[in-house]
Structure 1
């Protein structure tokens, strides 16, 4: 089947979502409504079944225009993309990826693949590969079994919270604004998020809520009503994604982030095939937080390239 590089205006979004929703790779970030919220427009490598127009495989490539040309980039709140397919031939086979042609269409590129993609044996220049990792925790077992896999300190803290006279109150909500405010007051400045990033997240939350894929959990101080921590989860097919979180200093002292993740695990434990994707792990302290729940590191690749200006291409 032919593999085509299609511009956004050429994409059949119904065929796109049919492919994404049935792909072996469970990647919510690749859905048209997710990319619409975070990137707006994107190009894609698409394998098309000629007789039906059905998309057999897709590789989204969000694009923005820069003074130096068209650039492929990884949008915010979009951890993994890469190839999605129902089979293991055609575009799904790494040896068929037309990597060498990407620098002819784009001047720069940075693309994070998904954790079920495997790189070809050799990546042509000017492409470079970086290994990243996320942390995954299978949730098919009972809550008691999963909790037994927590580190000893986490189990102790949960026992102390359960025995406390006034432990933090954990509840579900559909209102993202208190969580955003808390993030802006705490991690926001260091994270470098700007107004446009919060607007993007609000659009994404709207899209998730409309599809009933959104779970927001918050922890409150019962005496003062102070918001201690919040966490946003996405439940898509067989993935529960820990997408966004914030905690105050007091919330961290009260182990509120631990309580929120534990509440999500308790709610979904025993679900066949479901995996909690912590969506991160490159920062050691955060990786330890995930690993302490019994999650294991899982690698995925990032591809990048920078095309030299035309006036330097004569150099060897």
Structure 2
């Protein structure tokens, strides 16, 4: 059966999640419960095995309806989506002419962040027609740290200043320690007080995050960690980490000005790295690195940049295409 562009009501969510659960790389953002929390409903390109009903490949397409037509967007708290293939299915390129023609026929505006396994055209190669002339690929990057090595080896990969600050903290009379964060609300409040306005998050985004946290907790995939002031008990820094298959994802974090001065984010991430050190095949995905200062912070843990891409296009709705 050829690849089809399906509306949300046509999707078999059990077959969907079975495909995502086996796909490589591990992309938790594509699970139906993740998308339900962050996007609500979505459409998708799906390759269905006609004999079994199994999904051999899929491409999630969160959609907004606007007066100018249907628009694909990247939901919040969702780093990568793109084309995912079941390991038992034949390999296929996301840049296939058939897939692109289905997308350009339905959507007037399109923006999605592909996953790191979606190979990009090589130098001098163009996307297959009938891709619109305005279709663009924007290079993006995240940072990964392989956690399969022992703790001592991972710490040796930190920059000298990080190792020094951690030694000073450990030698202090009342050192900072990372502990379990019992509830997400204080962390969201801290984020609103520090990063919220600049990050552009609105009340609906915090509602989406609460739904996602609940979905992750139900599936025992969420680690909530915090660093408190040892004397006052003030929340200095906190983070949400998602442990999904071979990924530990640094999903959401915040720190107060006092926490940054005291190196609370450093203590928090070091504790997560030490706790998971020596886990075979586990990768810490810092889920960021587009801003130079953030990239340096992650690289100082020994993390390396991993590229992926954002695919976008804008075209006139069908009823205006005749205009010049």
Q: Tell me the TM-score range normalised by the shorter chain.
A: over 0.9
Aligned positions of 1:275-286 closer than 5 A = 275-286=283-294
Is contact 1:83–1:113 with CA below 8 Å preserved after alignment?
A: yes
Distance in 2 between residues matched to 1:225 and 1:247, nearest whole Å: 14
Distance of 1:20 and 1:236 partners within structure 2: 12
**What is the aligned length?**
316
Alpha-carbon separation, structure 2, partners of 1:223 and 1:110: 47
Deviations 1:249-306 (A, max 9, x none): 0000000000111111011110000000000100110000000000000100110011
CA RMSD of aligned residues (A): 1.5
CA positional deviation for 1:91:
4.0
Q: TM-score, normalised by structure 1?
A: 0.96
Matched, 1:249 2:250: no
Residue 159 (1) aligns with residue 146 (2): no
Matched, 1:122 2:111: no
For each residue in 1:158-179, what CA deviation from the matched residue of structure 2 results, as whole angstroms up to 9, or x when unmatched?
0010011112232012410110
5+ long unaligned stretches in structure 2: none
CA distance in 2, matches of 1:227, 1:173: 10
**How far apart are the structure 2 equivalents of 1:16 and 1:309?**
30
**Residue number among 213, 216, 219 corresponding to 2:221 in the alignment:** 213
1:106 maps to which residue?
A: 107
Find the aligned partners of 2:93 and 2:214 in 1 and give their Cα distance.
31
Instruction: After TM superposition, give the deviation of residue 190 of structure 1 in Å.
Output: 1.1
Q: Is the 8 A contact 1:57 1:92 kept in 2?
A: no
* Preserved contact between residue 48 and residue 54 of structure 1 (Cα < 8 Å): yes
SS of 1:136 mapped into structure 2: strand
Specify whether residues 309 and 105 from structure 1 end up closer, same or farther in structure 2 by C-alpha distance, changes over 3 A only: closer
Query: Residue in 1 aligned with 2:230?
Result: 222
Q: Hey, what's the Cα distance between the residues in 2 that align with 1:68 and 1:312? A: 10
**SS, match of residue 174 in structure 2:** coil
2:237 is aligned with 1:233: no
* Preserved contact between residue 69 and residue 317 of structure 2 (Cα < 8 Å): no
1:83 offset after TM fit, Å?
1.1
> Which of 285, 290, 296 is matched with 2:304 structurally?
296
Correspondence 1:270 to 2:271: no
